[in-house]
Structure 1
Amino acid sequence: MMSAIHIVCPHCQGLNRSPAERLSDNPVCGKCKQGLLPAHPVELRQSDFARFIEKSDLPVIVDFWADWCGPCKMMAPAFAQAAQQLQGKAIFAKVDTESNPMLSQQFAIRSIPSLLVFKQGREVSRQAGAMPAGQLIQWAQQVIR
């Protein structure tokens, strides 16, 4: 018997069910027909953050960043590499703290970049500061188990 998981579409915010065993088959949204598990980080905003975090059964790793932040810019390629390598195991998302100050305040973001991991809508881990790709991937693999 296949177990189903819920995934929020990063394109249209539609809620989808997919057999967990078929995540490597690149499932598509039943509503907009776009890929549910992109191999790159998705942008989240105040308007779609809660639904995306609360309704996704896969862990969601969120990078809180800002365009003016040098370490954020340096870590962006490593974060994208982690999203590609861990595709189907976690969803990687980015929140621009300048465009979404209420989210920064809600999660008490004191320094950037800050990585927060959510499982079933709850924050389960937090890491502040930039990391190289290898360290970021290793950290992500530990927290998404």
Structure 2
Amino acid sequence: MTEALHIVCPHCLRSNRVPPQRIGDRPNCGACKQPLASGDVAELNDTSLTSFTGTSDLPVLVDFWASWCGPCQAMAPEFQTAARTWAGKVAFAKVNTEQAQQSSARLGIRSIPTLILFRNGREVARQSGAMSAAQLGAWLQQQ
């Protein structure tokens, strides 16, 4: 018997146990009934960032951005497209650095947009600068 994966809901941030073979079936969250692996991007803050990245068995790609940042705004639809493409393989999240200043300082965010890939709560890769959905996909494949 294969052990269930813990997937954090991008809507309510609750952890769900999902058998690996069911991820392709687009399972719903047990708490809020929203899709778990639909390619939605979770909006995180200082409180939820650590629990979201540390609880998920899927790798988590976090976009650190700010509302005044032109490249961040330009990359937002590309990030959403990549999230849909990688649904069920990588969880995608965004952190507004203006609102999550503690996390941004703790992680040493010095420029935006900055992307950090987490596995089991640990940073495994980092990339600064805006990227297209294709560039995001190529970068994720290298990790």
Instruction: Decide: shared fold, TM above 0.5.
Output: yes
Matches within 5 A, 1:24-103: 24-103=24-103
Residue 117 of structure 1, CA deviation: 0.3
Partner of 1:117: 117
Q: Which residue in 2 is equivalent to 1:131?
A: 131
Q: For the residues of structure 1 that align with 2:4 and 2:130, how far apart are their CA atoms?
A: 34
Length-normalised TM-score, structure 1: 0.93
> Which runs of 5 or more structure 2 residues have no equivalent in the other structure?
none
Q: Structure 1 residues 40, 16: CA separation in 2 closer, same or farther (over 3 Å shift)?
A: closer
Q: Would the aligned equivalents of 1:3 and 1:21 in 2 still touch at CA under 8 Å?
A: no
CA distance in 1, matches of 2:22, 2:100: 34
CA RMSD, 1 decimal? 1.2
Q: SS where residue 82 of structure 1 aligns?
A: helix
In 2, distance between residues paired with 1:78 and 1:15?
A: 26
Alignment size in residue pairs = 143
8 A Cα contact 2:10 2:41, kept in partner: no
1:36 Cα shift? 1.5
Secondary structure at the counterpart of residue 137 of structure 2: helix
Amino acid at match of 2:35: G
C-alpha distance in 2 between matches for 1:112 and 1:31: 33
Instruction: Give the residue type in structure 2 aligned to 1:66.
Output: A
SS of the residue aligned with 1:138?
helix
User: 1:90 offset after TM fit, Å?
Assistant: 0.3
Cα offset, 1:22, TM superposition: 1.2
Q: Secondary structure at the match of 1:140?
A: helix
Unmatched tracts of structure 1, length 5 or more: none
In the alignment, the residues of structure 1 paired with residue 70 and residue 79 of structure 2 have an alpha-carbon distance, to the nearest angstrom, of 14
**1:105 positional shift:** 0.2
Asked if residue 106 in structure 1 is aligned to residue 121 in structure 2, the reply is no
Q: Per the alignment, in what secondary structure is the counterpart of residue 92 of structure 2? A: strand
The alpha carbon displacement at 1:33 in A equals 1.6
